[in-house]
Amino acid sequence: MLLVMSVTKIAIFAAEKVEGPGQLYALSACLMDADSGRVLYEKEGAVHRANASTTKIMTLILTLERADLNDTVTVSKRAARQPDVQLNMNEGESYRLEDLCYSLMLESHNDSAVAIAEHVGGSVEAFAKLMNEKAEELGCTQTYFITPNGLDETDGVNFHGTSAIDLARIMSYCVMRSPKTDEFLKITGTSEHTFTDLTGKRSFSCHNHNAFLQMMDGALSGKTGFTADAGYCYVGALKRDDRVFTVALLGCGWPNHKSYKWTDCKTLFSYGVDNYDYKEAPKPIGLLEYPVTDGAAENGDPYETPLAYLKEANHEPIRLLLRSDEKLVQKRQISFSKTAPVELGQECGKVCYYIEHADGTMDLVYCAGIYSENEIRVKDPGYYLRFLFTTFFV
């Protein structure tokens, strides 16, 4: 078996060293390319930590995907008894689900979160199960949700929390890939929302407490959080030109350090904006030609060596944010003996795409198979007899 390896590189990057974003206050942090899900920077990004009300981005996206915002929600005793921060609903009152979603995200009301969870999932426990299933579906590996509001909780198995990488991944889904992205952005980006209960007797006004929406151009969405265990937390998204970044911060100070999260957030987003851009990707390998020993030519000439045509299958467009000191690399591996027979659709190797870093290490992006586009038979005795018959008698 002959193995041929060839490497194609795109030499369009400056060979300069790029420094990291600098010191952060947060115990755990992540900067992510929201489009690809690639982690651009992390600090203890995979550590499971309490995450407070940043949990509510999952509560909202599940609600948007599973329920009608015009639904009527009736408040249970359990919902009405939730601790501050709360809307101060009373047991038996009814509200429009959409209004409670604004209460959930703008004011971070814990009673609204439980009322929503019970309406959508049937119970808090059933809704938490849906939350964990969704997290697993999104590729989260360090997430375990118990409550829909993010209050500190344990259940004998684990404590309620996630990791900075998982939280950034959930936000990336919310602002880029969910079928309800537009609705999510509308609710989380609203400055104020007023509403009443369904009797019209009680009126409420909600104000968005996500101050970061006014701190940087392109701020899309975000959610703050605080509990005694979690400290100050934040998850947010920012769009600059055609680039979308998400940031997650856990354990970003405790009282009286409420502003630490904004400092870290600006540091990480600025690092992403200043250092990452979309770069040209390697093109598909195109059609490869290899002469095949002992192969039967289609025209029947025994003196002609036929060619096997190989092609990369299912080439996926590569769209990645890269630093100036990173390269996209294409590696081609041909595992093809160049002898007959060759079957139509026969796998003859693969082509893989990598990100090469300044230190020479590489991260795999994806691989695609290389397959034969034609069939070549062996030159058996019958092949020669047919050639002689055609040459002398036809």
Catalytic choice (28, 43, 56, 172):
56
Task: Characterize the bridge pairing of strands 28-33 and 243-250.
Answer: antiparallel
Which whole-number Å values give the CA distances from 365 to 50, 109, 155, 325, 326, in the listed order?
31, 41, 38, 17, 13
Q: What is the C-alpha to C-alpha distance for residues 41 and 9, in angstroms, rounded to an integer?
A: 24
Catalytic choice (28, 76, 103, 108):
108
Which whole-number Å values give the CA distances from 11 to 242, 274, 281, in the listed order?
23, 21, 11
Q: What is the C-alpha to C-alpha distance for residues 355 and 330, in angstroms, rounded to an integer?
A: 9
Q: What is the C-alpha to C-alpha distance for residues 197 and 200, in angstroms, rounded to an integer?
A: 5
Paired strand residues for 347: 371
Is-catalytic flag, 259?
Answer: no
First to last CA, the chain: 40
Q: What is the C-alpha to C-alpha distance for residues 192 and 88, in angstroms, rounded to an integer?
A: 18
Is-catalytic flag, 53?
Answer: yes
DSSP string, 312-353: E-SPPPP--EE-TT-EEEEEEEEE---BS-B-TT-EEEEEEE
| Structure-token match 């002898």, residue found | 339
Tokens (6 digits) for 391:
């040459």
Q: What is the C-alpha to C-alpha distance for residues 51 and 140, in angstroms, rounded to an integer?
A: 14
Q: What is the C-alpha to C-alpha distance for residues 88 and 127, in angstroms, rounded to an integer?
A: 22
Which whole-number Å values give the CA distances from 129 to 73, 107, 122, 173, 386, in the listed order?
20, 25, 11, 19, 70
Catalytic choice (53, 76, 103, 221):
53
Which whole-number Å values give the CA distances from 272 to 41, 236, 263, 266, 277, in the listed order?
9, 13, 14, 10, 9
Is-catalytic flag, 56?
Answer: yes
CB atoms within 10 A of CB 51: 33
Query: Which sequence positions are flagged as catalytic?
Result: 53, 56, 108
